[in-house]
Amino acid sequence: MSNVFVLDHPLIQHKLTYIRNKNTGTKEFRALVDEVSALMAFEITRDLPLEETTIETPVMEATTKVLSGKKIGLVPILRAGLGMVDGILRLIPAAKVGHVGLYRDPETLKPVEYYIKLPTDIEERELIVIDPMLATGGSANDAIHSLKKRGATNIKLMCLIAAPEGVEVIQNEHPDVDIYLGALDEKLNEKGYIIPGLGDAGDRLYGTK
């Protein structure tokens, strides 16, 4: 069963409140999503393995630590996932970035894939799938299946806000995928929106309706 981590660092919780607020405009919303994504990346990379290396400081030779093990790949789900990429890249600038384009059909709420482009070596990377919202779980579930079909074996999922319904779908379909959240909300409404949530993440990021 996948682990679910709610990253309840005070800075993340504080910024999420402003992200949720309907009076927060596009410019501020975008900046806050970027900041929270960076803070979440800091927490999600806490268990990255290190190895020792020997360097010369200006004073003496020293044995210190550098990252080892698998390289990281980010996979934003278009379009709202794009809003989280730059914040994470500030902390992990060498990460490669793949893209999965999915939208939810407003009638069926089922995801429709329209684009996929991934680094060639995804099977050797630790992939972090990113999307602000995990609602019914359909989009993240499809994206993860797409990655696995192409050879990915090491995947984490990172979302700003999730509904219990979406978490359950990922846990059932992908017990190997750990889930990192800024908040776990109450439930979905009849239109498949997370409540209390933040509304439509893509529209709020890009000023569309």
Where on the chain is the footprint of ligand URA (CB under 6 A)? Answer: 133, 135, 192-194, 197, 200-202
Task: By CB under 6 A, tell whether 178 contacts ligand PRP.
Answer: no
Q: Please identify which residue in the block is written with the tokens 């949720």.
A: 20
Find the shortest distance in angstroms from Cβ 104 to ligand URA: 7
Reply yes or no on whether 63 is catalytic. Answer: no
Q: 83, 132, 182, 197: which one contacts ligand PRP (CB under 6 A)?
A: 132
Q: Counting Cβ atoms within 10 Å, is residue 52 exposed (0-12), middle (13-18) or buried (19+)? A: exposed
* Residue 21 Cβ vs ligand URA, minimum distance, rounded to whole Å: 15
Question: How many whole angstroms separate alpha carbon 143 and alpha carbon 131?
Answer: 10
Task: Choose between 164 and 192: whose C-beta lies nearer to ligand URA.
Answer: 192
203 catalytic per annotation: yes
Nearest-5° Cα angle at 133, 67 to 163: 110
d(CA 32, CA 52): 36
Of the candidates 87, 83, 152, the residue with the CA atom closest to the CA atom of residue 116: 152
Which member of 8, 150, 203, 208 is catalytic? Answer: 203
Which chain residues interact with ligand PRP by CB under 6 A?
A: 77, 79-80, 102-104, 109, 111, 131-140, 166, 192, 200-202
